[in-house]
Chain A
Amino acid sequence: MIESLSLHKPHIEHWLVLSAILFAIGLYGLLSRRNAIGILMSIELMLNSAVLNLAAFNRFVAPASVDGQIMALFVIAVAAAEAVVAMAIFVAIFRYRRIVDVNRMDLMKD
């Protein structure tokens, strides 16, 4: 039991598959939700899985350097900035039109 477990130590493919599954779940949420904040949560999930990819590649392809982790830090910082601006826009739209439903956010359509 212990031997077989130690022989099946997760390799880079396992990490990549995990992050692909997380990304697909985020994609499902992005496409199925109607609430703008729920969509933003799904986007955070997707960004998170992308960061996991960067860390996994750093660990398995270039373990002697930290470039992948620095890239991951930049992604996290940009995600924080994006979340701030998106939240501000949603709160402003809610104040102005009392909606958070993305189907009804069509002010620029007509």
Chain B
Amino acid sequence: MISDAVYTLLFYAIAIITIVFALAVTMSRNLLRAAVYLMMVLLTTASLYIMLDAEFLAGIQVLIYVGGIVVLIVFAVMLTKSAEMLDRPPLRRKLSAGLASLVFAAVTICVFWTSRFPIAQNHVAVPPNNTEEIGLKLLDYGSGGYILPFEIISILLLAAIIGGIVVARKTPPPEQPFTTGGDLTGEADFDAPHTQRPRTGKHI
């Protein structure tokens, strides 16, 4: 009984903290602060996953989101000088965005509150070792296994890495046409824009 009471208290406390930080993410003018608030939202969501008996998911959340994506966002904010430009949306835009999201929230909450879900009976055995179960399921090639999506995800991540490197690398100055092939030594600051640029087949 005590543990149920603590669970309830924790749920509402963490939910309120998460909502406050999420509001701070969308309303903060300084984007660097918004990134830190986003990190807090992701951490509190990880604790919500632990409350949902998904410990492995919580660990992955901290590793990938907090350790990877937030760092990436902070780097992007610094590289694009976004922290210096304060994002100040006009009032009309704020109002229409607020109205749209309020309507969305109202409709969704009504739908959730009135539908009946096929809830499992209490005291169904939760797998005792969450991580082991997920690992076995991910590499299972029988029916109900996830080996094919797992491999496709790894190819997707490889493609994203290569795409990120190709798109974000150094590009020629604005007078020259936008190409991705401007990364050879001396090619980017080649100061004769009308002559043919040296072409090599070695670099894609």
Contacts and interface: CB of A to CB of B under 8 A. Distances in A.
Interface in A54-93: 55-67, 69-70, 72-74, 76-85, 87-92
A73 B88 CA distance: 35
Nearest to A22: B22
Interface in A1-53: 2-3, 5-6, 8-10, 12-18, 20-35, 37-38, 40-42, 44-45, 48, 51-52
Contact of B171 (A45, A61, A95, A100): A95
Nearest to B2: A2
A31 to B, nearest CB: 3
B65 A48 contact: yes
B63 to A, nearest CB: 10
Given A6-B5, A21-B105, A76-B64, A32 B35 contact: no
State the main secondary structure of chain A at its contact with B: helix
B197 interface: no
Interface string B63-100: 01100110011011101111001010100011011101
A77 B124 CA distance: 29
B201 interface: no
A47 to B, nearest CB: 9
A70 B146 contact: yes
Interface string B157-189: 101110111011011001000100000000000
A9 B38 CA distance: 27
A contact residues, range: 35 or more
B91 to A, nearest CB: 10
Contacts of B161: 84
Interface residues of B, number: 94
B113 A13 contact: yes
Interface in B111-133: 112-113, 117-120, 124-127, 130, 133
A21 B80 CA distance: 30
Contact of B34 (A2, A9, A41, A87): A41
Nearest to B160: A81
Interface string B38-80: 1001100100110011101100110011001100110111011
B69 to A, nearest CB: 5
Interface of B: 1-2, 4-5, 7-9, 11-12, 15, 18-19, 22-23, 25-27, 31, 34-35, 38, 41-42, 45, 48-49, 52-54, 56-57, 60-61, 64-65, 68-69, 72-73, 75-77, 79-82, 85, 87, 89, 93-94, 96-98, 100-102, 104-105, 108-109, 112-113, 117-120, 124-127, 130, 133-134, 137-138, 144, 146, 149, 153, 156-157, 159-161, 163-165, 167-168, 170-171, 174, 178
15 contacts: A6-B8, A18-B18, A20-B108, A27-B97, A27-B104, A32-B89, A35-B31, A37-B73, A40-B76, A60-B120, A70-B137, A80-B160, A85-B164, A92-B171, A94-B81
